[in-house]
């Protein structure tokens, strides 16, 4: 999906961190807040969001604190200062500048993975149309296009109802183990992780594209299976992973920076790349 920005006379800027708040947050947190708020806006402009639902989280470097969205703001309303800072146990450390609390469901899902996967500093969980469609119909995601290179291996988690119980954290952790960075939450949506929010966003883009390819090819129809000749050989997938890593370096960094510049040109003032 191509990023399309609506025209706005006075776009709500993403980096709304004042000089006073910058002193309170410190450099690392300012950077983390701008990056995560930018990711929320990009998620909206990519069309992956659903009303106020879904969550993106980012661990503040050298801390055990997470940034999460205030539950009640639309993704195109989220700013750097509005993000809520919580600890891994769900205690609010900084409520942010909005009047909204964070959602417990988001905390349970994300804290389970942040606790069990120390390699994943950033997580994205969305209920996109293509993602929900595939999560509701496809048993196993096969490599059907080159974008599959960037989501392999995919993990799976069954639907147990709306997540409200701490007990589900153990099953989530058990079903999403390294080296997987893409989780299909059956009948629910998609989740990706990365060492950075840029990587998590990059993998979500690839995951979304694969899901849309499944839908466009008709592989989500009842009893419609992927023909064997259309499945990419595992050897080709592994060879392509190595080639991609050699060409692009850290996953998602160049792509995310390019989209952030697009937001900046449209007047959204992301603060991405600022030297605090």
Percent of the chain with pLDDT over 70: 93
For residues 195-219, average pLDDT: 95
pLDDT value for 25: 96
Q: DSSP string of 149-203? A: GGTPSEEEE---SS---TTHHHHHHHHS-TT--EEEETTTEEEEEESSHHHHHHH
Q: Which residue has the tokens 């490599």?
A: 143
Residue 227, judged by CB atoms within 10 A of its CB (0-12, 13-18, 19+), counts as exposed
Mean pLDDT value across the chain: 90
Cα torsion 84, 198, 29, 3 to 10°: value is -60
CB 184 within 8 A of CB 156: yes
The SS3 call for residue 273 is coil
d(CA 13, CA 23): 20
Q: How far apart are CA 220 and CA 144, in angstroms?
A: 13
* pLDDT of 184 above 90: yes
**For residue 168, what are the β-bridge partners?**
none
Q: Which of 19-23, 118-122, 136-140, 199-203 has the least mean pLDDT?
A: 136-140
Among 123-127, 144-148, 217-221, the range with the most confident prediction by mean pLDDT is 123-127
Q: In the block, which residue shows the tokens 């993990």?
A: 155
Residue 223, pLDDT above cutoff 70: no
In this predicted structure, the answer to whether residue 77 has a pLDDT above a threshold of 80 is yes
Query: Model pTM?
Result: 0.89
Instruction: Flag whether pLDDT at 20 surpasses 60.
Output: yes
| pLDDT higher than 70, residue 9 | no
Which has the closest alpha carbon to 128: 174, 77, 185?
185
| Residue 59 burial class via C-beta count within 10 angstroms: exposed 0-12, middle 13-18, buried 19 and up | buried
- For residue 162, the model assigns a pLDDT of 79
Q: Does the pLDDT value for residue 222 go beyond 60?
A: no
Query: What are 229-273's pLDDT values in tens digits?
Result: 778 888 788 887 777 777 666 888 999 999 999 999 999 999 998
Contact, 178 vs 119, CB < 8 A?
yes
pLDDT in tens, 83-133: 999 999 999 999 999 989 998 888 889 899 999 999 999 999 999 999 999
Say what the pLDDT of residue 3 is: 67
14 pLDDT exceeds 90?
yes
């Amino acid at each position: 999906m191509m990023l399309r920005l609506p025209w706005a006379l006075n776009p709500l800027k993403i980096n709304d961190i004042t000089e006073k708040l910058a002193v309170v947050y410190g450099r690392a947190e300012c950077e983390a807040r701008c990056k995560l708020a930018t990711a929320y806006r990009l998620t909206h402009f990519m069309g992956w969001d659903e009303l106020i639902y879904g969550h993106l989280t980012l661990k503040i470097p050298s801390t055990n604190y997470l940034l999460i969205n205030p539950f009640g703001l639309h993704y195109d309303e989220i700013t750097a200062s509005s993000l809520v800072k919580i600890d891994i146990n769900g205690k609010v450390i900084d409520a942010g500048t909005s009047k909204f609390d964070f959602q417990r469901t988001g905390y349970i899902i994300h804290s389970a993975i942040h606790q069990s996967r120390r390699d994943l500093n950033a997580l994205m969980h969305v209920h996109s149309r293509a993602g929900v469609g595939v999560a509701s119909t496809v048993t196993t995601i096969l490599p059907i296009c080159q974008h599959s290179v960037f989501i392999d291996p995919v993990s799976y988690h069954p639907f147990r109802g709306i997540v409200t119980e701490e007990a589900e954290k153990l099953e989530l952790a058990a079903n999403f183990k390294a080296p997987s960075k893409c989780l299909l939450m059956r009948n629910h949506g998609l989740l990706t992780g990365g060492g950075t929010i840029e990587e998590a966003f990059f993998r979500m883009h690839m995951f979304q594209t694969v899901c849309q390819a499944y839908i466009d090819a008709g592989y989500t129809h009842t009893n419609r299976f992927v023909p064997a000749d259309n499945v990419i050989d595992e050897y080709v997938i592994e060879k392509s992973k190595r080639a991609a890593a050699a060409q692009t370096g850290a996953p998602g960094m160049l792509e995310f920076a390019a989209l952030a510049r697009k937001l900046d040109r449209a007047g959204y003032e992301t603060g991405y790349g600022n030297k605090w």
